[in-house]
Amino acid sequence: EIVLTQSPATLSLSPGERATLSCRASQSIGSFLGWYQQKPGQAPRLLIYDASNRATGIPARFSGSGSGTDFTLTISSLEPEDFAVYYCQQRSIWPGTFGQGTKLEIK
Amino acid sequence: QVQLQESGPGLVKPSGTLSLTCTVSGGSISNSKWWSWVRQPPGKGLEWIGEIHNGGSTNYTPSLKSRVTISVDKSKNQFSLNLSSVTAADTAVYFCARRGYFDSSGHYYPYYFDYWGQGTLVTVSS
C-alpha cells in the first residue's frame, strides 16, 4: 500500500499570504496525484488532478507541482474561503489512499 | 449534473451489518465506469473503502476486504455498501463518490473523484 504523508499537519497563515502544502508518497506514483479541499460538514472537492492540472472552476491561485514521490500544493494568496483541510490522494496503485490531511487555519 | 445521495440507517449495533445505498441522479450509472465508497471517522481523515465498476468488478481496501461487499443495481441507478461485523471503530461519515474526472475538453482522468454525496453519519453503538 502506498502511504501518502502530508506536512505540515497544521498551517497557520493570514489572508493574503502564500501557503505551501507538501505530500510525499512512499513509492513513486508518477504524476498521478490529486488534491482535495474539504470544509466542515462538506464532501471533499477536487482541486488538482495529475499533480498540476486545475479542475474546472478552481481559481488560478491554486497550483500543484511535483512527480514521483514529492508533491506540492501552493495557494499563492490566501482568501478567507481557503481555510480548510486539504488532502492528497492517489489511485494509480490499488488500494487507493489519501494523505492524513493538512489543516490550513487562520493565524 | 450528476448528483449522489447516500441513504441507510444512522445507527448500527456492534457485530451487526452496516448497509448503505447511493442513489445516482442526473445521469445513468452505466455511463461512468467506477463508483466508490469512502469513509471519514469523526475528526479524522479519509479512508477509501472500495469501488465497483459498472460491469460488476470490485476492488476493496485490504484492511476491510474480509468484511466489505459493494454491489450495483443498474435498474435502480444505485450502488450499495455492506460492512459486516461492525465495531465502534467503524463509526464514521460514509461518502459515495464517482471516480473518473472529465476535464473541460472531455479528456478522461480515471484516478480522481469528481462527484460526491454529502455523506451520512453511521454510528456503531448498542
pLDDT at B33: 87
pLDDT along chain A (107 residues), means of 10: 97 98 97 98 98 97 98 98 98 94 97
pLDDT at A52: 98
Q: Which of B95, B112, B117 faces A49 most closely, judged by CB atoms?
A: B112
Grid coordinates of B14: 456492534
Q: Which of B45, B51, B110 faces A101 most closely, judged by CB atoms?
A: B45
CA A53, A58, A59, A63 dihedral sign is negative
pLDDT at A17: 98
Q: What is the pLDDT of residues B5-45, one digit of tens each?
A: 999 999 999 999 999 999 999 999 988 889 999 999 999 99
Q: What is the pLDDT of residues A48-68, one digit of tens each?
A: 999 999 999 999 999 999 999
B9 touches chain A (CB under 8 A): no
CA B23, B54, A100, A61 dihedral sign is negative
